[in-house]
Amino acid sequence: MKKIISFFLLFGFLIVGLVYYKFFLPPKKEKVTDPKIKEILNRGKILVGTEASYPPMEYLDEAGNFLGFDIDLAKEIAADLGVEVEFVNIPWEKLFDALAEGKVDLAISAITITPERMEILSFSVPYLNVGQVIVAKNDTQIKGIADLQGKVLGVQRETTSEEEAKKYTDPSLVKSFPNYDLAKEALERGEIEAIIIDYPAGLAMVAKDKNLKIVGKPFTQEFYGVALQKGQEVLLEKVNQTIKRLQQSGTLRALEEKWFSK
């Protein structure tokens, strides 16, 4: 009889111990071995490069705060890593160099995934499907890409918009600007006849200026991705996990509604 009582007492202690271990002991932290992840965790923040002159994707408000679709995405990535995020505002033509030189950990700046860029950078899974559109004055005679031949077009330098514009008019007629604010000013002054720009940014541009409109529909299909240094496979997987979580939860769709319906 004593043996039976002892057995049940031992069994009871075992059950209590298992319950305590599972529910009350703090979870054992996963051992971090990847150098880049270690660097980010030790720093307590992830450095994200962006060119903040491209609403609604990334821009600065009057107080100098970073806002936009990509900014919210970066915050989600940082939260999943358990760190803060610090944004570094970098001119577009210097952004990829800053990433390659390790000045930032990620670049999130409405970056279209292209074969040429994939040769020098790693990219996340796509997080947004976008395309090129034409922005022109309301009284324009341009009705579509067929009307662009012989027209003076404005684009941002070293972008896929610049590449596309040169397909539809003489390359000498494509005027490249450091950012789209300057291109818009040139359009308003009549120095160019239309702007080629990614669809989300085109929406933001015409929303702020009632004298401008989007002509037709997007005429390309492109995808944005988060850019990383080559070889950062563990960080890449972490970024992909966040993007997939946001896709499955409907958060990415909510961000589209938040930023593109303004």
Q: How far is CA 243 from its chain centroid?
A: 10
Question: How far is residue 152's CA from residue 187's CA, in Å, rounded to a whole number?
Answer: 10
Average pLDDT over residues 131-149: 96
Given CATH 3.40.190.10, say whether it is the number of domain 132-220.
yes
Helix (H) or strand (E) holding 18: helix 2-23
147-180 pLDDT per residue, tens:
999 999 999 999 999 999 999 999 999 999 999 9
Q: Which of 89, 29, 58, 85 is CA-nearest to residue 198?
A: 58
Question: How far is residue 165's CA from residue 148's CA, in Å, rounded to a whole number?
Answer: 9
pTM here?
0.77
User: Which fold would CATH assign to domain 36-129+223-260?
Assistant: D-Maltodextrin-Binding Protein; domain 2 (3.40.190)
Domain boundaries, the chain: 36-129+223-260, 132-220
DSSP lists the bridge partners of residue 67 as: 59
Average pLDDT over residues 186-210: 94
Question: How far is residue 5's CA from residue 18's CA, in Å, rounded to a whole number?
Answer: 20
Cα-Cα end-to-end distance for the chain: 77
Tokens of 187: 């359009």
Helix (H) or strand (E) holding 253: helix 251-260
DSSP notation for 188-206: HHTS-SEEEEEHHHHHHHH
| pLDDT at residue 247 greater than cutoff 70 | yes
Say what the pLDDT of residue 83 is: 98
| pLDDT at residue 86 greater than cutoff 70 | yes
Q: How many CA atoms lie within 13 A of 74 on its CB side?
A: 29
